[in-house]
């Protein structure tokens, strides 16, 4: 996991700066400026609202800007900005407040995170937030990831690159809730154990590694980063499954020996 955390702190900012220099501005902001806002300013504001009001939310303007960040950093989907802007401001605040409160209440009330319960809460929160026009599981997860300054294990953004890096799917990404909660999030849980690294950091590292792998010969050719630090992801070993497998193998071996005897 160390190479993922290193990529989050070292490779990620290099890529953002490089892509920012070659991409168009969204409004008056570059990708680099949008990224600073999304990764630092907005999570801080979300936390401050929670501290002041014991709940938190996004405004419509923030949702619009968040979509600008998402499209500037990933694949551009021309229909999404119009859909996002068609949401009523009061609806954006009420829906995001409900969805974020659903998740943050669970996180703050739980001494330890049970994976099954966690995934159930994520599904509930995403279902609520996805009521907004133009918001699917990926954008809903992005909104939930803004809770990171309130709790380090807030759900990570369901980015294309992190999914491709961690899951290595055989088919195209469908961007559905099942891919996120059944395929991607369990891998995050397999990485953490007692580690206090935020899920958000692991997502950034995975995004950076996969993006560099895909673009290092072209858009990112000017970045000098040791490719050995971009090791292929290896899912963590489940000790319980390994013990079970070892037991099965030992049983089979014993059975074979008895048959031979």
- Give the pLDDT of residue 22: 84
pLDDT band, residue 237 (cuts 50/70/90): low
Give the span between the Cα atoms of 151 and 94, in whole angstroms. 21
Task: Kindly tell me if the per-residue pLDDT of 229 is higher than 80.
Answer: no
Q: What integer pLDDT is reported at residue 246 of this predicted model?
A: 44
**Residue 23's closest CA among 74, 61, 78, 80?**
74
Burial of 61 (0-12, 13-18, 19+ CB in 10 A): exposed
Report the C-alpha dihedral over residues 188, 192, 196, 200, rounded to 10 degrees.
-10
pLDDT digits (tens, 9 = 90+) for 158-167: 999 999 999 9
Note the pLDDT tens digit of each residue in 13-56: 999 999 999 887 877 899 999 999 999 999 999 999 999 999 99
Residues making up the chain, counted from first to last: 261
Q: Single out the residue of 64, 136, 146, 138 nearest to residue 97, CA to CA.
A: 146
Whole-structure pTM value? 0.88
At residue 196, φ and ψ (nearest 5 deg) are -95, 10
Residue 74 has a pLDDT of: 85
Per-residue model confidence as pLDDT tens digits over 43-95: 999 999 999 999 999 999 999 999 999 999 988 788 999 999 999 999 999 99
Domain coordinates in residue numbering, the chain: 2-260
Across the chain, what does the average pLDDT equal?
A: 88
> Which residues is 29 bridged to in the sheet?
26
Q: What percent of the chain has pLDDT over 70?
A: 86
């Amino acid at each position: 996991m160390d190479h993922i955390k290193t990529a989050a702190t070292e490779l990620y900012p290099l890529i953002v700066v490089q892509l920012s220099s070659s991409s168009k501005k969204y409004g008056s902001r570059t990708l680099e400026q949008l990224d600073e806002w999304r990764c630092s300013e907005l999570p801080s504001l979300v936390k401050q609202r929670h501290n002041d009001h014991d709940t938190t939310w996004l405004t419509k303007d923030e949702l619009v800007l968040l979509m600008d960040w998402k499209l500037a950093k990933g694949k551009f989907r021309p229909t999404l900005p119009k859909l996002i802007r068609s949401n009523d401001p009061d609806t954006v605040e009420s829906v995001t407040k409900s969805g974020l409160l659903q998740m943050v209440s669970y996180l703050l009330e739980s001494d330890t995170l049970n994976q099954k319960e966690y995934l159930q809460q994520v599904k509930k929160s995403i279902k609520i937030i996805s009521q907004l026009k133009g918001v699917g599981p990926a954008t809903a997860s992005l909104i939930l990831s803004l809770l990171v300054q309130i709790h380090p294990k807030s759900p990570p953004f369901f980015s294309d690159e992190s999914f491709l890096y961690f899951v290595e799917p055989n088919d195209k990404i469908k961007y559905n809730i099942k891919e996120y909660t059944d395929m991607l999030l369990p891998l995050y849980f397999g990485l953490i154990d007692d580690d206090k690294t935020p899920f958000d950091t692991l997502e950034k590292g995975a995004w950076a590694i996969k993006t560099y792998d895909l673009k290092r010969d072209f858009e990112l050719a000017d970045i000098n980063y040791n490719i050995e630090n971009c090791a292929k992801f290896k899912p963590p070993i489940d000790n319980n499954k390994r013990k079970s497998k070892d037991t099965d193998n030992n049983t089979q071996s014993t059975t074979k020996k008895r048959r031979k005897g």
